[in-house]
Amino acid sequence: MIVNLRDICAIAEQKNMAIASFNVPSLEATRAALDAAEETGYPVILSHAEGHDAFTPLDAMGPTMVALAERSSAMVCVHLDHCENLSYMRRALEMGFTGAMYDGSMEPYEVNIENSQRAADMCASFDCGLECELGSMGTRENGVGHENDHVSEAVYTDPEQADEFIKETGLDILACSFGTVHGIYKGEPHLNFDVLTEIRKRNNVPLVMHGGSGVSDDDYRKAIDAGIRKINYYTYGVKYAGEAVQQVIADFKSKNADANVYWHDMTMAAYQRLYEDFTSVIKVFANGADPVA
Protein backbone atom coordinates (compact mmCIF):
# COMPACT_ATOMS: atom_id res chain seq x y z
CA MET A 1 0.00 0.00 0.00
CA ILE A 2 1.20 3.48 -0.78
CA VAL A 3 1.74 5.85 2.17
CA ASN A 4 2.80 9.44 2.72
CA LEU A 5 6.42 10.31 3.60
CA ARG A 6 5.17 12.04 6.79
CA ASP A 7 3.30 8.92 7.94
CA ILE A 8 6.16 6.52 7.21
CA CYS A 9 8.58 8.78 9.16
CA ALA A 10 6.06 9.03 12.03
CA ILE A 11 6.20 5.24 12.33
CA ALA A 12 10.01 5.40 12.40
CA GLU A 13 9.82 8.11 15.07
CA GLN A 14 7.49 6.09 17.24
CA LYS A 15 9.66 2.96 16.96
CA ASN A 16 13.08 4.67 17.15
CA MET A 17 14.10 3.17 13.82
CA ALA A 18 14.97 4.40 10.33
CA ILE A 19 13.19 3.57 7.10
CA ALA A 20 15.42 2.48 4.20
CA SER A 21 15.11 4.74 1.17
CA PHE A 22 16.49 2.83 -1.80
CA ASN A 23 17.23 4.52 -5.11
CA VAL A 24 15.63 2.09 -7.58
CA PRO A 25 16.53 3.09 -11.14
CA SER A 26 15.62 -0.35 -12.58
CA LEU A 27 12.86 -2.92 -12.36
CA GLU A 28 15.25 -5.29 -10.57
CA ALA A 29 16.02 -2.78 -7.83
CA THR A 30 12.34 -1.83 -7.45
CA ARG A 31 11.27 -5.47 -7.12
CA ALA A 32 14.16 -6.23 -4.75
CA ALA A 33 13.19 -3.33 -2.44
CA LEU A 34 9.50 -4.27 -2.39
CA ASP A 35 10.19 -7.98 -1.90
CA ALA A 36 12.64 -7.21 0.94
CA ALA A 37 10.04 -5.00 2.65
CA GLU A 38 7.34 -7.66 2.31
CA GLU A 39 9.68 -10.39 3.55
CA THR A 40 10.84 -8.43 6.63
CA GLY A 41 7.52 -6.70 7.45
CA TYR A 42 9.04 -3.18 7.64
CA PRO A 43 8.00 -0.14 5.56
CA VAL A 44 10.24 1.02 2.70
CA ILE A 45 10.79 4.12 0.56
CA LEU A 46 11.29 3.74 -3.20
CA SER A 47 13.30 6.71 -4.47
CA HIS A 48 13.83 8.14 -7.93
CA ALA A 49 16.63 10.74 -8.13
CA GLU A 50 16.33 13.54 -10.68
CA GLY A 51 20.04 12.92 -11.39
CA HIS A 52 19.21 9.35 -12.52
CA ASP A 53 16.85 10.56 -15.22
CA ALA A 54 19.48 10.11 -17.94
CA PHE A 55 19.46 6.33 -17.52
CA THR A 56 15.97 5.86 -16.05
CA PRO A 57 13.49 8.51 -17.15
CA LEU A 58 10.86 9.57 -14.62
CA ASP A 59 8.17 9.05 -17.28
CA ALA A 60 8.95 5.32 -17.39
CA MET A 61 10.06 4.60 -13.83
CA GLY A 62 7.66 6.83 -11.89
CA PRO A 63 4.36 5.16 -12.93
CA THR A 64 6.00 1.72 -12.51
CA MET A 65 7.08 2.55 -8.96
CA VAL A 66 3.62 3.90 -8.06
CA ALA A 67 1.77 0.90 -9.55
CA LEU A 68 4.00 -1.66 -7.81
CA ALA A 69 3.86 0.23 -4.51
CA GLU A 70 0.05 0.39 -4.63
CA ARG A 71 -0.32 -3.35 -4.94
CA SER A 72 2.42 -4.26 -2.44
CA SER A 73 1.38 -5.63 0.96
CA ALA A 74 4.21 -3.54 2.51
CA MET A 75 3.85 0.12 3.50
CA VAL A 76 5.61 1.99 0.70
CA CYS A 77 6.35 5.66 0.09
CA VAL A 78 7.24 6.60 -3.51
CA HIS A 79 9.69 9.45 -3.22
CA LEU A 80 11.50 11.94 -5.45
CA ASP A 81 15.16 12.27 -4.41
CA HIS A 82 17.43 15.34 -4.87
CA CYS A 83 15.07 17.39 -7.01
CA GLU A 84 16.45 20.79 -8.00
CA ASN A 85 13.72 21.79 -10.48
CA LEU A 86 10.21 22.43 -9.23
CA SER A 87 8.71 21.68 -12.67
CA TYR A 88 10.26 18.19 -12.43
CA MET A 89 8.79 17.84 -8.93
CA ARG A 90 5.32 18.71 -10.24
CA ARG A 91 5.57 15.91 -12.83
CA ALA A 92 6.37 13.38 -10.07
CA LEU A 93 3.53 14.64 -7.87
CA GLU A 94 1.07 14.35 -10.77
CA MET A 95 2.12 10.68 -11.11
CA GLY A 96 1.19 10.00 -7.48
CA PHE A 97 4.50 10.29 -5.62
CA THR A 98 3.89 10.55 -1.86
CA GLY A 99 7.22 12.09 -0.89
CA ALA A 100 9.58 14.59 -2.53
CA MET A 101 12.91 16.20 -1.71
CA TYR A 102 13.70 19.71 -2.81
CA ASP A 103 17.51 20.04 -2.75
CA GLY A 104 18.57 23.66 -2.50
CA SER A 105 21.78 22.84 -0.67
CA MET A 106 23.92 24.26 -3.49
CA GLU A 107 21.97 27.54 -3.48
CA PRO A 108 22.55 30.53 -1.17
CA TYR A 109 20.60 30.13 2.09
CA GLU A 110 17.87 32.67 1.16
CA VAL A 111 17.25 31.01 -2.22
CA ASN A 112 17.13 27.60 -0.53
CA ILE A 113 14.45 28.91 1.88
CA GLU A 114 12.43 30.56 -0.89
CA ASN A 115 12.44 27.49 -3.18
CA SER A 116 11.78 25.13 -0.26
CA GLN A 117 8.70 27.23 0.61
CA ARG A 118 7.48 26.96 -2.98
CA ALA A 119 8.07 23.19 -2.86
CA ALA A 120 6.10 23.05 0.43
CA ASP A 121 3.12 24.83 -1.19
CA MET A 122 3.20 22.48 -4.14
CA CYS A 123 3.51 19.36 -1.97
CA ALA A 124 0.63 20.52 0.25
CA SER A 125 -1.70 20.72 -2.75
CA PHE A 126 -0.88 17.05 -3.58
CA ASP A 127 -0.85 15.89 0.07
CA CYS A 128 2.78 14.84 -0.40
CA GLY A 129 5.46 14.89 2.33
CA LEU A 130 8.45 17.20 1.81
CA GLU A 131 12.15 16.71 2.58
CA CYS A 132 14.59 19.63 2.27
CA GLU A 133 18.35 19.85 2.78
CA LEU A 134 20.46 22.28 4.75
CA GLY A 135 24.25 22.18 4.81
CA SER A 136 26.27 20.54 2.07
CA MET A 137 27.75 17.05 1.89
CA GLY A 138 30.30 18.23 -0.70
CA THR A 139 29.35 15.38 -3.07
CA ARG A 140 26.48 15.00 -5.48
CA GLU A 141 24.06 12.19 -6.04
CA ASN A 142 25.05 12.05 -9.72
CA GLY A 143 24.08 8.54 -10.69
CA VAL A 144 27.63 7.43 -11.50
CA GLY A 145 27.82 5.40 -8.33
CA HIS A 146 31.48 4.37 -8.37
CA GLU A 147 33.32 7.63 -7.58
CA ASN A 148 32.56 10.52 -5.32
CA ASP A 149 31.87 13.57 -7.42
CA HIS A 150 33.30 16.23 -5.13
CA VAL A 151 31.84 19.64 -5.91
CA SER A 152 32.79 21.51 -2.74
CA GLU A 153 33.96 21.05 0.82
CA ALA A 154 31.32 19.56 3.11
CA VAL A 155 29.52 22.12 5.28
CA TYR A 156 27.90 20.52 8.32
CA THR A 157 24.35 21.59 9.07
CA ASP A 158 24.23 24.44 11.60
CA PRO A 159 21.69 23.44 14.30
CA GLU A 160 20.55 27.02 14.97
CA GLN A 161 20.09 27.80 11.30
CA ALA A 162 18.31 24.44 10.94
CA ASP A 163 15.73 25.49 13.55
CA GLU A 164 14.97 28.65 11.58
CA PHE A 165 15.00 26.75 8.25
CA ILE A 166 12.50 24.17 9.53
CA LYS A 167 10.13 26.86 10.79
CA GLU A 168 10.43 29.08 7.69
CA THR A 169 10.01 26.36 5.07
CA GLY A 170 7.32 24.10 6.53
CA LEU A 171 9.30 20.97 5.56
CA ASP A 172 8.33 17.58 7.04
CA ILE A 173 11.79 16.01 7.30
CA LEU A 174 15.30 17.47 7.16
CA ALA A 175 18.35 16.12 5.31
CA CYS A 176 21.48 17.15 7.15
CA SER A 177 25.21 17.04 6.58
CA PHE A 178 27.16 15.44 9.44
CA GLY A 179 29.98 13.50 7.83
CA THR A 180 28.42 11.08 5.35
CA VAL A 181 29.13 11.35 1.61
CA HIS A 182 27.45 10.06 -1.53
CA GLY A 183 29.31 7.34 -3.41
CA ILE A 184 32.21 5.14 -2.30
CA TYR A 185 33.95 6.15 0.95
CA LYS A 186 37.63 6.83 0.43
CA GLY A 187 38.39 6.18 4.13
CA GLU A 188 36.46 5.41 7.32
CA PRO A 189 33.48 7.76 7.67
CA HIS A 190 33.72 9.98 10.79
CA LEU A 191 30.21 11.03 11.71
CA ASN A 192 29.44 13.95 14.00
CA PHE A 193 26.37 12.80 15.95
CA ASP A 194 26.35 16.04 17.98
CA VAL A 195 25.02 17.85 14.88
CA LEU A 196 21.94 15.60 14.98
CA THR A 197 21.49 15.83 18.76
CA GLU A 198 21.72 19.64 18.66
CA ILE A 199 19.16 19.92 15.84
CA ARG A 200 16.75 17.61 17.67
CA LYS A 201 17.16 19.53 20.94
CA ARG A 202 15.66 22.57 19.20
CA ASN A 203 13.20 20.79 16.95
CA ASN A 204 12.01 17.19 16.99
CA VAL A 205 11.73 16.95 13.20
CA PRO A 206 12.66 13.56 11.64
CA LEU A 207 16.20 13.69 10.20
CA VAL A 208 17.57 12.10 7.03
CA MET A 209 20.99 10.51 6.40
CA HIS A 210 22.15 10.85 2.80
CA GLY A 211 25.23 8.93 1.69
CA GLY A 212 23.85 6.10 3.80
CA SER A 213 25.51 3.11 2.13
CA GLY A 214 29.01 2.12 3.26
CA VAL A 215 28.40 3.10 6.90
CA SER A 216 29.03 0.63 9.77
CA ASP A 217 26.10 -0.99 11.61
CA ASP A 218 27.31 0.68 14.80
CA ASP A 219 27.18 4.14 13.20
CA TYR A 220 23.71 3.42 11.79
CA ARG A 221 22.50 2.62 15.31
CA LYS A 222 24.10 5.74 16.81
CA ALA A 223 22.60 7.92 14.07
CA ILE A 224 19.14 6.41 14.59
CA ASP A 225 19.37 6.94 18.34
CA ALA A 226 20.25 10.60 17.59
CA GLY A 227 17.13 11.11 15.42
CA ILE A 228 17.80 9.77 11.90
CA ARG A 229 14.49 8.39 10.57
CA LYS A 230 15.23 7.88 6.86
CA ILE A 231 18.47 6.49 5.44
CA ASN A 232 19.25 6.91 1.73
CA TYR A 233 21.00 3.86 0.34
CA TYR A 234 22.27 3.31 -3.20
CA THR A 235 25.96 3.04 -4.12
CA TYR A 236 27.08 -0.03 -2.18
CA GLY A 237 23.94 -1.96 -3.19
CA VAL A 238 24.57 -1.43 -6.91
CA LYS A 239 28.28 -2.15 -6.39
CA TYR A 240 27.39 -5.56 -4.91
CA ALA A 241 24.91 -6.18 -7.75
CA GLY A 242 27.61 -5.30 -10.29
CA GLU A 243 29.96 -7.80 -8.64
CA ALA A 244 27.24 -10.48 -8.74
CA VAL A 245 26.81 -9.90 -12.48
CA GLN A 246 30.57 -10.19 -13.04
CA GLN A 247 30.55 -13.45 -11.06
CA VAL A 248 27.75 -14.91 -13.20
CA ILE A 249 29.70 -14.10 -16.36
CA ALA A 250 32.87 -15.65 -14.89
CA ASP A 251 30.95 -18.79 -13.85
CA PHE A 252 29.43 -19.27 -17.31
CA LYS A 253 32.77 -18.72 -19.01
CA SER A 254 34.65 -21.06 -16.67
CA LYS A 255 32.35 -23.91 -17.77
CA ASN A 256 32.43 -23.03 -21.45
CA ALA A 257 34.53 -20.20 -22.85
CA ASP A 258 32.11 -19.81 -25.80
CA ALA A 259 28.96 -19.73 -23.65
CA ASN A 260 26.45 -16.97 -24.26
CA VAL A 261 25.59 -14.97 -21.15
CA TYR A 262 22.12 -13.56 -21.68
CA TRP A 263 20.81 -10.29 -20.32
CA HIS A 264 18.25 -12.11 -18.16
CA ASP A 265 21.06 -14.14 -16.54
CA MET A 266 22.57 -10.83 -15.46
CA THR A 267 19.32 -9.17 -14.33
CA MET A 268 18.41 -12.26 -12.27
CA ALA A 269 21.81 -12.19 -10.54
CA ALA A 270 21.48 -8.45 -9.90
CA TYR A 271 17.96 -8.85 -8.47
CA GLN A 272 19.01 -11.67 -6.14
CA ARG A 273 22.04 -9.75 -4.78
CA LEU A 274 20.03 -6.55 -4.28
CA TYR A 275 17.26 -8.49 -2.55
CA GLU A 276 19.75 -10.06 -0.10
CA ASP A 277 21.47 -6.74 0.58
CA PHE A 278 18.22 -4.77 0.99
CA THR A 279 16.80 -7.40 3.34
CA SER A 280 19.79 -7.19 5.68
CA VAL A 281 19.93 -3.38 5.48
CA ILE A 282 16.22 -3.01 6.35
CA LYS A 283 16.75 -5.22 9.41
CA VAL A 284 19.74 -3.17 10.64
CA PHE A 285 17.80 0.09 10.17
CA ALA A 286 14.90 -1.40 12.20
CA ASN A 287 17.23 -0.99 15.21
CA GLY A 288 15.52 -3.80 17.13
CA ALA A 289 11.93 -2.57 16.55
CA ASP A 290 9.22 -5.12 15.82
CA PRO A 291 8.00 -5.40 12.22
CA VAL A 292 4.96 -3.29 11.34
CA ALA A 293 3.18 -5.98 9.28
Measured from the CB atom, the residue of 44 and 292 that comes closer to ligand 13P is 44
Measured from the CB atom, the residue of 237 and 292 that comes closer to ligand 13P is 237
Q: Which residues bind ligand 13P (CB under 6 A)?
A: 23, 81-82, 141, 182-183, 210-214, 232-235
Q: Collect contacts of 24-29 with beta carbons under 8 A, ≥24 apart.
A: 24/48, 24/61, 24/65, 25/49, 25/52, 25/55, 25/56, 25/61, 25/143, 26/56, 26/270, 27/64, 27/267, 28/241, 28/267, 28/270, 28/271, 28/274, 29/237, 29/238, 29/241, 29/274
CB of 121 to ligand 13P, least distance (A): 23
Any catalytic annotation for residue 194?
A: no
Measured from the CB atom, the residue of 135 and 292 that comes closer to ligand 13P is 135
CB of 214 to ligand 13P, least distance (A): 6
- CA 217, 244, 150: angle at the middle one, nearest 5? 60
The active-site residue out of 7, 35, 53, 81 is 81
Measured from the CB atom, the residue of 35 and 141 that comes closer to ligand 13P is 141
CA 119 to chain centroid, in Å, comes to 18
CB of 213 to ligand 13P, least distance (A): 3
CB of 54 to ligand 13P, least distance (A): 16
Catalytic residue numbers, as ranges: 81
